[in-house]
Structure 1
Amino acid sequence: MKQKIVIKVTVNGPKSRSKSLQIAVGFSGVESAGLGGQDKSQIEVVGDGVDAVELTNRLRKKVGYAEIVSVAAVGEKKEEKKPEAVVQPVLWSMYGGGVPQTYIHPIHPPNYYQDPSCSIM
């Protein structure tokens, strides 16, 4: 089940933001991660089977203060099944009036003639 996890992290600058994103992306089950919030202090992680508590603990050890803001299931949109269009072949008359006619020549494998008097073969 896909879920969206939002974690608030204290960031001191672009280096700590980058480090926290690298940790989030490297975590198992994460499909995408990005920054959110007004001051870009929240990490939004989307993934399948991601352990939010373990991810938060890892961020606390490596970056600093981290707190889980929300965990929500992401519903997958069901695509409407469209009926497939039936392909009908176009038939041209052999003596079509003004319609260019093409003929596709069949390709046969080369037939090499082996001369019994040839000394090379």
Structure 2
Amino acid sequence: MVQQKIVMRLSMANAKKRAKALKTAVSIHGVVSVKLEDDKIVVVGDGVDSVNLTNVMRKKMGGYVELLSVAEEKEEEVKKTTEENTSVEASVGWPNHNHQTHTIRVRIFLSIPHYFKMFRQKIVMRLSMADHKKRSKALRTAVSVHGVVSVKLEGDKIVVVGDGVDSVKLTKLMRKKMRSFVELLSVEEEKKEEKKEEKMEVVSWPNVSFVPPYQYAYAIPEEPWSRGSGCIIL
């Protein structure tokens, strides 16, 4: 099973809130690592339902939790660790079914939270669309959500692009309307295509000026009879 990297943004004003967010995230089955980055929490896991995870976080944290991105975790990113901000270590424990307490050590990254900002997202979901009626219903359901600007079907996937669209609410709505399981595959920021500026090439020709043809002067010899009107025969 492919590991997924799930990034959520939430309000964590103090250490108690941060510890609670970490404890809630690690309680989800399949989670293998949790990390705090500013006002975000990064969860990596095997087979973790990002929609269910976000709903649990919203319920436990008592506030709005925004699902920012869902992407496949690459092996290089799993091994790579960065510690750019000041960090402290904390122990988080929770009981299992055998009433034994498991404790893990997590690293909390401390920073000043940023404000929430709206950006265009690309949301990809997989669902069963056996016939034309199902496909049409999926499209109608997606475009009914406020903020959606484009919807496209790609095989058994539906790609939704929108401004400020809550991917969790969208997926729950799709599951309700389609009456089947809808898998949220990825959530990422929609990147604007950079338009290449066409450079106009200046073509220059050599400056050829008009040169008038050279005028030659010819001397006409004076004839003897032209000097006077007298007779030239003696």
Determine which structure has more spread, i.e. the larger CA radius of gyration.
Answer: 2
> Partner letter of residue 69 of structure 1?
L
Which of 56, 59, 67 is the equivalent residue of 1:61? 59
In structure 2, what is the equivalent of residue 74 of structure 1?
Answer: 73
RCO (CA 8 Å, sep 6+): is it higher in 1 or 2?
1
Q: Deviations for 1:39-81, whole angstroms, at most 9, x for unmatched residues? A: x21000011101111111111111121010001101235xxxx
Distance of 2:74 and 2:14 partners within structure 1: 34
Distance of 1:62 and 1:3 partners within structure 2: 22
Distance of 1:75 and 1:44 partners within structure 2: 14
Shift of 1:13: 1.0
> Partner letter of residue 33 of structure 2?
S
* 5+ residue gaps, structure 2: 77-234
Which of 37, 47, 50 is the equivalent residue of 2:48? 50
Distance of 2:64 and 2:21 partners within structure 1: 11
Q: Give the paired residue count.
A: 74
TM-score w.r.t. the length of structure 1 is 0.58
In structure 2, what is the equivalent of residue 6 of structure 1?
Answer: 7
RMSD after superposition: 1.1
Distance of 1:9 and 1:55 partners within structure 2: 13
Distance of 1:60 and 1:8 partners within structure 2: 11
TM-score w.r.t. the length of structure 2 is 0.31
- Structure 1 runs, 4 residues or longer, greater than 4 Å off: none
